[in-house]
Amino acid sequence: MLPVALPILALLGVMIATPAQAQDYPVRTVKIVVPFPAGGTADVMPRIIADWLSRKWGQPVIIEDRAGAGGNVGAEAVAKSDPDGYTLLAAPPPPLVINQNLYPHLDFDPLQFVPIAVMGRVPNALVVNPDRVKANSVKDFIAYAKANDGKVTDATQGNGTTSHLTSELFQMMAKVKLQNVPYRGSGPAMNDLVAGSVDCAFDNLGAPLQLIKAGRLKLIAVASPQRVKSLPDVPAIAETLPGFASVTWFALAAPPNTPAAIIDKINAGVNEALRDSDVQKRFADLTAEPVGGTPQATAAYFHDEAERWKNVITAAHVTLD
């Protein structure tokens, strides 16, 4: 009977150990991998949450930026990490719900990540270099783009990112053609937009906000379904192109097979952080809406978003070329 009993005892040991590990978690540094460069909202938002969690847990929670291939480099590193809760992924949509519909081959399965929570949502927006594009409205911008067909340069976070797909959606609905100029994240894209190397960008509003306030970039419109409460005088693109909507979200996920008890503990910490008034203020500075919710609700949201962006990719014939 002993050879049969050993596997059963081992399984019982794992079942007993997992809740105990979750109860003690974390006992050492937690690393959150951001698969985009420092400087953008994708990097800033998880730093806010990491700072709060490190104080709550009494353990360091650090951010590691690992950019490349539309978020795939960092996402792959997390996917292949130990499923113990000590390496997490903080990402906008591309590596979680978009890239599987664009890249012919990925060395990880995005569908196998374990969703934890959506930290926040930020409206995308159309911004221009005011010295290169004199438009003051969406209607003006469309007219300018039609008059300069295929010549208006559009800085994106990279091929297949939400800024790229938002641009493709705009081009499809406005019946214009822009020239895609892909970067490795919002930071480099905004630097070149300010420098005048490119004409415009569709990016999450948090990325260019300070540059807009400083007068170095011009905000034409937001891509949320309605106007943003904090910017009531800025129109929504949907006021000119009915039905247009694009919001970037930023979520936490864990490697495949991470135990549910650990996921639930991280989820509870993130939700508590999002209720903190200081965190809410820092999110507001990014024009971000705190989200939170259960891991199950997050999983359902990922599924819906994957279908939505797949439809945009198909309808706009988006490729990586």
Q: Six-digit token pair at 215? A: 């007068």
Check residue 184 and give its pLDDT: 86
Could you tell me the pLDDT band of residue 263, with boundaries at 50, 70 and 90?
very high
Residue type, 90: A
Could you tell me the pLDDT band of residue 20, with boundaries at 50, 70 and 90?
low
Q: How many helices and strands in the chain, by DSSP H and E?
A: 11, 10
Q: How many CA atoms lie within 13 A of 134 on its CB side?
A: 2
Q: Is the pLDDT of residue 12 over 80?
A: no
Check residue 105 and give its pLDDT: 93
Average pLDDT value over all residues in the chain: 93
Check residue 1 and give its pLDDT: 47
- Reported as a single tens digit per residue, the pLDDT across 48-103 is 999 999 999 999 999 999 998 889 999 999 999 999 999 999 999 999 999 999 99
**Rounded-to-integer distance, Cα 38 and Cα 46, Å:** 11
Please name the residue that has the structure tokens 């939400």. Answer: 162
Q: How far is CA 279 from CA 47, 52, 190, 259, 275, in A?
A: 11, 8, 25, 27, 7
- Reported as a single tens digit per residue, the pLDDT across 173-201 is 999 999 999 998 899 999 999 999 999 99
CATH of 123-239, one of 3.40.190.10, 1.25.40.10, 3.90.1150.10, 3.40.630.40: 3.40.190.10
How much is the CA Rg of the chain, to the nearest whole Å?
21
Could you tell me the pLDDT band of residue 16, with boundaries at 50, 70 and 90?
low
Query: Of 187, 168, 152, which is closest to residue 65 (Cα–Cα)?
Result: 187
Check residue 3 and give its pLDDT: 52
**Adjacent-strand bridge partners of 181:** 155
The packing angle between helices 295-315 and 162-174, to 10°, is 50
Q: What is the mean pLDDT of residues 241-262?
A: 97
Boundaries of every domain in the chain: 17-122+249-315, 123-239
* 87/157: higher pLDDT: 87
User: Does CATH number 3.40.640.10 belong to domain 17-122+249-315?
Assistant: no
Could you tell me the pLDDT band of residue 8, with boundaries at 50, 70 and 90?
low
Residue 238 — φ and ψ, nearest 5°?
-60, -20
**Rounded-to-integer distance, Cα 254 and Cα 81, Å:** 9
Q: Six-digit token pair at 38? A: 């420092």
| DSSP string over 271-295 | HHHHT-HHHHHHHHHTTPEE----H
Percent of the chain with pLDDT over 90: 84
Q: Is the pLDDT of residue 296 over 80?
A: yes
Check residue 22 and give its pLDDT: 78
Q: Is the pLDDT of residue 34 over 80?
A: yes
Percent of the chain with pLDDT over 70: 93
Q: Do domains 17-122+249-315 and 123-239 have the same CATH topology?
A: yes
**Rounded-to-integer distance, Cα 158 and Cα 121, Å:** 19
